[in-house]
Amino acid sequence: MRFVNVGFNNILNADRIVAVVGSDSAPSKRLMQDAKDMGRAIDCTSGRKTRSILVMDSDHVILSAIQPETLAARLEGSTETEEEDEDDNP
């Protein structure tokens, strides 16, 4: 079992992630709102702007403040990640 940090010490099972998408398109915003309405959204942003959406095999939707490219690098096992997304600046 592999785990990936999706920001602010929130860890997910990487084997259960189906997709990582950006949050700026209209379909992804609709996906996010539908998941919130159905109680399937888990917000891991700690109040920050949602930058990526992770779709799980359980139909849950995880909201993250980390860029999709950074999450993809973490999923691929890259050691170079952008930690600046998690700065404590409001």
- Write down the pTM of the prediction: 0.85
26-66 pLDDT tens trace: 999 999 999 999 999 999 999 999 999 999 999 999 999 99
Residues 6+ apart with CB under 8 A from 71: 4, 6, 20, 52, 54, 64
Task: Let me know if residue 28 belongs to a domain.
Answer: yes
Task: Let me know if residue 63 belongs to a domain.
Answer: yes
Tokens of 66: 């980390």
Task: Let me know if residue 62 belongs to a domain.
Answer: yes
Tell me, what DSSP letter sits at residue 58? Answer: T
* Total tally of structural domains belonging to the chain: 1
Tokens of 12: 């997910």
Tokens of 54: 């992770």
Task: Let me know if residue 37 belongs to a domain.
Answer: yes
User: Does position 79 have pLDDT exceeding 50, yes or no?
Assistant: no
Residue 5: Cβ within 10 Å count: 17
Which among 45, 88, 82 has a CA at the least distance from the CA of 64?
45
Task: Let me know if residue 85 belongs to a domain.
Answer: no
User: pLDDT band for position 77 (50/70/90)?
Assistant: confident
Task: Let me know if residue 39 belongs to a domain.
Answer: yes
List the domain range (segments joined by +) for residue 18. Answer: 3-78
